[in-house]
Structures are given as C-alpha cells and as structure tokens.
Amino acid sequence: MVGHWNGGRWVEIEDDGDDEPRYLITAVATRANIHVQTIRRYEAYGLVEGRRPERGPALYSEADIERIRRIRRLTDDLGVNLAGAAAVLHLREQVIALQRELSALQRSRGDR
C-alpha cells in the first residue's frame, strides 16, 4: 500500500498487487467476469498486455486482473470510453509513482 499524509490523515492508494504472470486468458476472463473477446479488445487498445514466454500462450498476473477489473468499472459503471480509461489509468500510475517517491524521501529524512 502506498500513501501519504494529507491534512492530518493518511491517504492510501492500493497497488495492483502481484505482477507474476501465471494465468491463461480464459482464467482471467472467468476471474474478472468478462469475455475473452473483451480482454482482447483491451489488448488491442493497449490497456493490458499478456506476457508471452518463449513458447506458449500469453500469461497474465494478479495485477493484470486488477487492471482489467478497474477498466471494466471505468467503462461499465462510469461510462468512460477506452481512451478515457487509458488516461485515468496512466494518471493513477503516475500518482502511485510520486507517492512512492515521497514515501522514500520521507523515510530518508526520518519522517513517518
């Protein structure tokens, strides 16, 4: 969990979790409760990318599954198009990176 102090309270942003690729696309579709074709559309748009070992099908991680769920919430629940979802996810990644940097700086100074 990454976070920072804001106005006297700790604000956290969840990391997406384990990045070890281990799931086939069919398992990802089942776990994320979407169709394989939807995952392929997300891939075509550059929103998610399975990692291909030297031989065999693409594999996905827990972090990929969380990202797919997040894309689905943005598009289905909030009505954001795929371009908007890409922008939101990019900004989220930037915020997480900046919060990690801030936390590291605070630790190096002896802050909380």
Q: What is the pLDDT of residues 72-105, one digit of tens each?
A: 999 999 999 999 999 999 999 999 999 999 988 9
Give me the residue spans of the domains in the chain: 2-109
Instruction: Let me know if 75 is exposed, middle or buried by CB neighbors in 10 A (0-12, 13-18, 19+).
Output: middle
pLDDT at 4 > cutoff 50: no
| Runs of H (alpha helix) within 33-78 | 36-44, 62-72
Model pLDDT for residues 14-61, shown as the tens digit of each residue: 555 678 999 999 999 999 999 999 999 999 999 999 998 888 899 999
Closest Cα partner for 66 from 90, 79, 48? 48
Cβ–Cβ < 8 Å for 48, 64: yes
CATH fold for domain 2-109: Multidrug-efflux Transporter Regulator; Chain: A; Domain 2 (1.10.1660)
Angle, helix 62-72 to helix 25-32, in steps of 10 degrees = 50
